Structure 1
Amino acid sequence: MIPDVALAPEPEWFQTPTLRGQHIFLEGLTGAHAADLCAGANEETVRLLARGGPSNATPDAWAEYIARLNALPHRINFAVRLTGSGVTVGRISYSEMKWADRWTEIGTMLLPAAQGRAVNPEAKLLLMVRAFEVLGANRVHFKVDSRNTRSLRAMHKLGAAQEGTLRQYQVLPDGFARDSVVFSVLRDEWPAVKAGLQARLTSLS
């Protein structure tokens, strides 16, 4: 059962506490994480990012990209770091938050070395626990580029409901008008989704 959680005050929604799991921990994304992201990224890492990626493959460009993300309104960005080594292997974000309507959107970018491991399910688990069980959200949703087959598979594994496709929803920096596939999890669906994420983490541990 999900706890009966009241809606947290609006300022609390926009805080960036450190969230700790078994394999990773999340902390507020800053320019200090740029070097790790630059070192581990490849062209595929940034090709489908909705907000575009860094202007070039240098730590300074990654730091500028992080500053640009952090300047966006209604958005909170976390660095994904490995427990033990502390290496940054991606970022996960509340990419849009609507306090009055009690929903948030989650977006994820993971480096190749972190894919297919426990990193993705644990990062989503940490942010969704916070959304539903701390902030009092009624809904968490995801918008996935229709070309991103890896992320689409991840959404189906998550157990999120596929709501439909927003056609030519967003024009990317290269001028391409992408279709975004929308998935969501509602508050009363969260216990089953949470149990599935926890089972996946157990199998990957």
Structure 2
Amino acid sequence: MTPDAPAPEAEWFQTPTLTGRQVFLEGLTESHAPDLCAGADDEMVRLLSRGGPSEATPAAWAEYIGRLNALPQRINFAVRRVESGVTVGRISYSEIRWADRWVEVGTMLLPAAQGGAVNPEAKLLLMARAFEVLGAGRVQFKVDARNARSLRAMHKLGAVQEGTLRQYQVVSGGYARDSVVFSVLRGEWPAVRAGLEARVAALG
């Protein structure tokens, strides 16, 4: 059940462990760097909105994680497989606006974790916390207009496409990317949740 009032602001910045069937989420730390480094590829790193590690080494990934964790109004979770404990990505409240009762969710998954149950279950866990624990009225997403896979995932999720922020963010290499904005509102969440649960069950 979604609370009628938002949880205290401090609770929105906590990183509890959230456990599903296939994956669990925990606070992202430098200890997750080796798995991320081992599974990443150049295309995945190229599309990271905050830039990526300076080189393909665990130390550079650890430094990148430190930079992410230092950003204000943001908290980051590692995505880990339940059976093996291997870290297969990162999912974040990449922007938190407690006063306005919304969060933005951003996801980075290693290539080996794409296309299965990991993405829908990680989003299910983080969106359920936003709507049902924190009392958010809106969850939004910004997707690089070049990222066809992520755009398809947003439509499959059932999020509403609101528009495109043109040349919104300068990313690695000086490219000014267009960001496509999607959202799910509190009243839309039950249908979106049902869809995510069905996908996780079918893919699991």
Shorter-chain TM-score range? over 0.9
Residue 55 (structure 2) pairs with residue 40 (structure 1): no
Residue 31 (structure 2) pairs with residue 9 (structure 1): no
How much does 1:4 deviate?
3.8
Between the aligned partners of 1:5 and 1:130, the Cα distance in structure 2 is 14
Q: 1:61-94: CA deviations, max 9, x gaps? A: 0000000000000000000000021000000000
With the length of structure 1 as denominator, give the TM-score of the two structures. Answer: 0.98
Between the aligned partners of 1:55 and 1:3, the Cα distance in structure 2 is 41
Secondary structure of 1:131's counterpart equals helix
Secondary structure of 2:79's counterpart equals strand
Between the aligned partners of 2:132 and 2:4, the Cα distance in structure 1 is 6
The 8 Å contact of residues 5 and 134 in structure 1, kept in 2 or not, is answered as no
Q: Which residue of 2 aligns with 1:124?
A: 123
Q: 1:103-132: CA deviations, max 9, x gaps? A: 000000000110011000000000000000
Secondary structure of 1:165's counterpart equals strand
Q: Which residue of 2 aligns with 1:86?
A: 85
Between the aligned partners of 1:53 and 1:171, the Cα distance in structure 2 is 13
Between the aligned partners of 2:187 and 2:119, the Cα distance in structure 1 is 22
Q: Which residue of 2 aligns with 1:193?
A: 192
Give 1:153's aligned amino acid. Answer: R
Give 2:168's aligned amino acid. Answer: Y
Give 1:202's aligned amino acid. Answer: A
Alignment of 1:45-60 (within 5 A): 45-60=44-59
The 8 Å contact of residues 3 and 134 in structure 2, kept in 1 or not, is answered as no
With the length of structure 2 as denominator, give the TM-score of the two structures. Answer: 0.99
Q: 1:157-199: CA deviations, max 9, x gaps? A: 0000000000001111311110000000000000000000011
How much does 1:203 deviate?
1.0
Alignment of 1:139-154 (within 5 A): 139-154=138-153
The 8 Å contact of residues 5 and 133 in structure 1, kept in 2 or not, is answered as no
For structure 1, list consecutive stretches of 5 or more residues without a partner in the other structure: none
The 8 Å contact of residues 18 and 25 in structure 1, kept in 2 or not, is answered as yes
Between the aligned partners of 2:120 and 2:4, the Cα distance in structure 1 is 23
Between the aligned partners of 2:100 and 2:176, the Cα distance in structure 1 is 28
For structure 2, list consecutive stretches of 5 or more residues without a partner in the other structure: none
The RMSD of aligned alpha carbons is 0.7
Residue 101 (structure 2) pairs with residue 102 (structure 1): yes
Q: Which residue of 1 aligns with 2:60?
A: 61
Higher mean displacement: 166-175 or 189-198 = 166-175
Give 1:149's aligned amino acid. Answer: A
How much does 1:3 deviate?
3.3
Give the % identical residues.
Answer: 77
Between the aligned partners of 1:43 and 1:164, the Cα distance in structure 2 is 28
Between the aligned partners of 1:173 and 1:195, the Cα distance in structure 2 is 37
Between the aligned partners of 1:173 and 1:25, the Cα distance in structure 2 is 30
